[in-house]
Amino acid sequence: MNDNLSDTDKNSPLPPTSKTDSNVSTDADLHLDKYSDPRVKITRTGILMGVGVVIIGILGAGLSIYARKTKLEQTTRFWGPETIIALQLAEKIELRPIGASDFEAVDLSGTPSLGHLRHALLDERGFDWNTEGSGSAAEMCQKPTEGAAISCIRLRFTDPTANRIGTIDLDLDLVGGWVGPSDGSRRVQATEWVRPKLEKYFQMIVNVQRLRYDQRD
């Protein structure tokens, strides 16, 4: 028995506390506010709200992808599988004049916005299917509008390297928005939203080609 212990220590029911234990308790006491801060409480409602936000985000992303995805059911029926492959993958696309149009043939391969042109002719939402009928698009050709250089064109698709397709020709009436295969078997009209975009694109291509021709000298 240690004679240095005081009578108080001897009679105390609790064992003496070490210096280390005292420091631990003091540190914990200093951070009690972090554990009792109501702002960090996780409730069932908060969890459900978080899950809801995640679900809404996933659904929104899925709907966005679906809306942007090219729809091919009607256009595959109209164009046929080989023309669909040509619109998607053809290595070379050539622009040629037909009807009242008068310009030098233009190689569109690698030109700006060519992907938008492919999409416009592929996506079924770009056409008014109530106008579909027999006959060629070339028959619907009109005179160019005032200030325009062209009115009717032919797109020739070839794939000389991979040879995935033969030669595919499509005719477009840029004034009325009629499109169809050059064999004249059928035609359909582009929507009012797509028509001016097609006309503007091809007018720009021909104007640039003519400008380059004029500047050769």
> How does pLDDT run across 9-39, given as a tens digit for each residue?
555 555 554 444 444 455 555 555 555 555 5
Q: Exposed, middle or buried: residue 49 (CB in 10 Å: 0-12, 13-18, 19+)?
A: exposed
pLDDT of residue 208 exceeding 90: no
Question: Between 185 and 60, whose confidence is greater?
Answer: 185
Cβ 103 vs Cβ 209: under 8 Å: yes
Q: Give CA angle at 88 (122, 96), nearest 5°.
A: 80
Residue scoring higher pLDDT (49 or 134):
134
Q: Is 76 exposed, middle or buried (0-12, 13-18, 19+ CB in 10 A)?
A: middle
- CA 57 – CA 108 distance, rounded (Å): 39
pTM of the shown model: 0.68
What single-letter amino acid sits at 135?
G
Residues in the chain: 217
Give Rg (Cα) of the chain: 37
Sheet order of strands, 178-181 included: 106-107, 92-97, 152-158, 168-173, 178-181, 187-190, 127-133
